[in-house]
Copies of this chain bind each other. A is one copy, B any other.
Amino acid sequence: MNKTRLEAFSDGVLAIIITIMVLELKVPEGEHFSDLLTLFPVFISYVLSFIYVGIYWNNHHHLLHSATRVNGRILWANLHLLFWLSLIPASTAWMGEHDFAKATVTVYGIVLFMSAIAFVILQTTIICLDGEKSFLAEAVGKDMKGKFSQGLYLSAIVISFFNQWISLIIYLIVALMWLVPDTRIEKRILNSEKK
């Protein structure tokens, strides 16, 4: 089975997700610079979510690059990931339009957490097919970085009931942690090319 079409479809969905978020940047009613200020929380949410979708696209790119084959399970694990990512625009908008109210930050965190879990499921499904001694299995290893992020998301979700600003800082920290594409895979590729 062909992984090119899987990549093409995922690219399409991710491109749309990253772009429809901008539809929430509703044109301010006034025509002065001051009218832009009301857009500020929406804009900040947009930047954060843009970075998150960018990270997922980047890591998805690396993940599928290292997969050798694709089967029906992988197609569905991939759709499952896209499902949770598709909720990012709506949860971003809810957060931005209510100036980061507590519940909106909690829901945003839940969507991020579920996306992270869905990514792990996809990763595991690919490793299952390729075998424990495959390139990807060795590159991912015990996936400490993934588990650490999931822990941070969970903490941020709990903390958001008390202070949503700390949660937002945690979301930002996780984003920065992943801004660099998954160098474990990148290094492995370079190493294997040297050999």
Contact = CB atoms under 8 A, between A and B. Distances in A.
Interface stretch (A88-96, A117-125, A133-141): A88-96
Given A1-B186, A12-B11, A27 B107 contact: no
Given A11-B12, A32-B103, A103-B31, A65 B1 contact: yes
A125 to B, nearest CB: 14
A30 B101 CA distance: 10
Interface stretch (A53-61, A143-151, A166-174): A53-61
Contacts of A35: 103
A36 to B, nearest CB: 7
A12 B2 contact: no
Interface string A5-39: 11111011111111110111101100111011000
Interface of A: 1-2, 5-9, 11-20, 22-25, 27-28, 31-33, 35-36, 47, 50, 54, 57-58, 61, 65, 71-72, 75-76, 79, 82-83, 86-87, 89-90, 93-94, 97-98, 101, 103-104, 106-107, 179-181, 183, 186, 189
